[in-house]
């Protein structure tokens, strides 16, 4: 490559030093299916306007959640984002800013992060929150690593209610730091009991609320049991809008709360970028990953902001760092902050209640469809149903008809399990009566 001024001898020397024979040997841990072997099916060169036309045609092959009735959820949700959010975050001073390496001269950035932290602490019911993480899954992994530091124990119990992507990321992060990750079987009926698994070797218990299948649970008893055994309770929230209607994890006794903040201010974006939330009790503040901004006064007594804690390795922490996350999703965190500020407490609560009302109405309509069984549960805006046919096949058939029916459990847990006929369906304030009718009609036709 023209911008890598290394000779073949340089590369050979580097490979010898690390004990491999070729660059390809560095990728042996990547499954073959994930490695590129061949050439892209693209022309070698085209005029700029031809490239634009080609790329537009390719993009138009996508079906987005804004184009058709959509009931997709399972960790990424479609909500209304006011136009003012995009307008504000695209101002040059926000859009082009990066991690402040001389933080105190970036008062605007620090104030925005401070407001973000305050909001996250409020809605999670926790004492302190950091200035954001990459996403919900990496936040979950960091929380488990933090629990190990706090308790000096090496075992984590991960509930079957936790999104399997979060569990997988956590397991990957813990692979080389001697943490035993006990991931439980999927909790389809919401009756999972973890108390017998908690002992004096347990660093933490990780649960999700609402769970991956939509269950809403009171975690107070589990929190008490964790405290009695010296373990931390980590609560995962993939649908942050739920915190506007449900009792906060902090009020139920959580020690750490991690969440995906995408639902507030950030549209679904084919996988990101999203923003991870991380909040904890005050006594664990020095073990938290990421950065924390604080409020102070200057020499003239005026209000100002400072970078209070910075735990990452780039800030000269080196081996003492509590995290190697190198930045925060600052622009996404700003979008979250602006949107939540526009809503206010009452608006946030009203939005959450509207989500629940729409999901409840949809569940009632689906209950009357032959071949659909709405699984009994207390839910927020997402619930599971059992179909009379494999859910993956049904979803594909309905997508061809212009309805995104939801996320089949087989998409997350693999085909060939007892979850093949399970479909997770989400509704939001954007789910109209016409959308619901379209889903009911399409399912009735496909399952008849």
Which of the pair, 271 or 195, is modelled with greater confidence?
195
Q: Are residues 108 and 207 in the same domain?
A: yes
68-82, 261-275, 315-329, 422-436: segment of lowest average pLDDT: 315-329
Please answer whether residues 147 and 204 qualify as being in contact, where contact means their C-beta atoms are separated by less than 8 angstroms: yes
Q: Are residues 366 and 318 in the same domain?
A: no
Indicate whether 273 belongs to any domain. yes
Indicate whether 65 belongs to any domain. no
Q: Are residues 239 and 268 in the same domain?
A: yes
Indicate whether 28 belongs to any domain. yes
Domain count, the chain: 3
> If you average pLDDT over residues 96-114, what whole number do you get?
81
Q: Are residues 89 and 211 in the same domain?
A: yes
The closest alpha carbon to 389, from 410, 365, 367, 413, belongs to 410
The closest alpha carbon to 130, from 265, 293, 284, belongs to 293
Q: Are residues 132 and 189 in the same domain?
A: yes
Domain limit, last residue, from 321, 340, 359: 340
What is the reported pLDDT for 326? 64
Q: Are residues 102 and 234 in the same domain?
A: yes
Burial status of residue 360 (CB atoms within 10 A of its CB: 0-12, 13-18, 19 or more): middle
Indicate whether 74 belongs to any domain. no
Q: Are residues 368 and 434 in the same domain?
A: yes
Indicate whether 66 belongs to any domain. no
Indicate whether 76 belongs to any domain. no
> If you average pLDDT over residues 364-370, what whole number do you get?
97
Q: Are residues 272 and 161 in the same domain?
A: yes
The pLDDT mean for the chain works out to: 93
> If you average pLDDT over residues 383-401, what whole number do you get?
97
Domain limit, last residue, from 288, 319, 340: 340
Indicate whether 72 belongs to any domain. no
Residue 421 belongs to what domain range? 345-447
Q: Is the pLDDT of residue 1 over 60?
A: no
Q: Are residues 306 and 401 in the same domain?
A: no
User: How many other C-beta atoms lie within 10 A of the C-beta of residue 76?
Assistant: 23
Model confidence band, residue 290 (pLDDT cutoffs 50, 70, 90) = confident
What is the reported pLDDT for 37? 78
Indicate whether 300 belongs to any domain. yes
Q: Are residues 40 and 88 in the same domain?
A: no
User: How many other C-beta atoms lie within 10 A of the C-beta of residue 155?
Assistant: 21
Model confidence band, residue 314 (pLDDT cutoffs 50, 70, 90) = low
Which of the pair, 354 or 45, is modelled with greater confidence?
354
Q: What is the pLDDT of residues 26-76, one digit of tens each?
A: 998 899 888 887 778 877 789 999 999 999 998 898 888 999 999 999 999
Number of DSSP helices (H) and strands (E) in the chain, helices first: 12, 13
The domain spanning residue 238 has which CATH number? 3.40.640.10
Q: Are residues 305 and 335 in the same domain?
A: yes
User: How many other C-beta atoms lie within 10 A of the C-beta of residue 271?
Assistant: 8
Q: Are residues 303 and 371 in the same domain?
A: no
What is the reported pLDDT for 3? 67
Model confidence band, residue 313 (pLDDT cutoffs 50, 70, 90) = low
> If you average pLDDT over residues 315-329, what whole number do you get?
68
Model confidence band, residue 422 (pLDDT cutoffs 50, 70, 90) = very high
Rounded CA-CA distance 77/101 in Å is 33
What is the reported pLDDT for 367? 96
Please answer whether residues 79 and 244 qualify as being in contact, where contact means their C-beta atoms are separated by less than 8 angstroms: no
Please answer whether residues 283 and 260 qualify as being in contact, where contact means their C-beta atoms are separated by less than 8 angstroms: no
- The encoded tokens of residue 48 equal 């700029």
The domain spanning residue 412 has which CATH number? 3.90.1150.10
């Amino acid at each position: 490559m023209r911008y890598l001024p290394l000779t073949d001898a340089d590369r050979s020397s580097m490979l010898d030093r690390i004990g491999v024979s070729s660059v390809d040997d560095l990728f042996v841990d990547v499954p073959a299916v994930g490695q590129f072997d061949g050439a892209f099916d693209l022309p070698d060169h085209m005029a700029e306007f031809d490239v634009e036309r080609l790329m537009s045609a390719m993009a138009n092959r996508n079906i987005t959640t804004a184009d058709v009735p959509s009931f997709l959820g399972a960790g990424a949700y479609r909500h209304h984002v006011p136009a003012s959010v995009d307008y504000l975050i695209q101002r040059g001073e926000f859009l082009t800013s990066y991690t402040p390496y001389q933080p105190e001269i970036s008062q605007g950035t620090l104030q925005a992060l401070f407001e973000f932290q305050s909001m996250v602490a409020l809605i999670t019911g926790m004492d302190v929150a950091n200035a954001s993480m990459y996403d919900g899954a990496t936040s979950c992994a960091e929380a488990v690593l933090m629990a190990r530091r706090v308790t000096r124990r090496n075992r984590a119990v991960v509930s079957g209610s936790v999104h399997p992507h979060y569990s997988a990321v956590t397991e990957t992060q813990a692979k080389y730091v001697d943490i035993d990750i006990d991931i439980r079987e999927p909790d389809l009926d919401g009756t999972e009991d973890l108390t017998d698994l908690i002992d004096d070797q347990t660093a933490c218990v990780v649960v999700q609320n609402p769970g991956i299948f939509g269950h809403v649970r009171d975690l107070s008893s589990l929190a008490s049991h964790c405290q009695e055994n010296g373990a931390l309770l980590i609560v995962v929230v993939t649908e942050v809008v739920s915190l506007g209607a449900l009792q906060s994890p902090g009020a139920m006794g959580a020690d750490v709360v991690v969440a995906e903040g995408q639902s507030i201010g950030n549209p679904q974006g084919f996988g990101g970028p999203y923003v991870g939330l991380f909040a904890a009790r005050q006594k664990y503040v020095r073990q938290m990953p990421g950065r924390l901004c604080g409020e102070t006064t200057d020499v003239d007594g005026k209000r100002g902001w400072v970078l209070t804690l910075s735990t990452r390795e780039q800030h000269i922490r080196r081996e003492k760092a509590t995290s190697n996350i190198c930045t925060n999703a600052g622009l996404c965190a700003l979008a979250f902050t602006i949107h939540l500020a526009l809503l206010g407490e009452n608006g946030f609560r009203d939005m959450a209640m509207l989500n629940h009302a729409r999901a409840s109405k949809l569940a009632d309509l689906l209950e009357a469809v032959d071949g659909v069984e709405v699984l009994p549960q207390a839910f927020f805006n997402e619930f599971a149903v059992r179909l009379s046919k494999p859910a993956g096949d049904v979803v594909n058939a309905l997508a061809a008809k212009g309805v995104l029916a939801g996320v089949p459990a087989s998409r997350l847990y693999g085909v060939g399990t007892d979850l093949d006929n399970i479909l997770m369906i989400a509704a939001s304030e954007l789910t109209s009566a016409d959308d619901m009718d379209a889903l009911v009609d399409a399912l009735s036709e496909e399952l008849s």
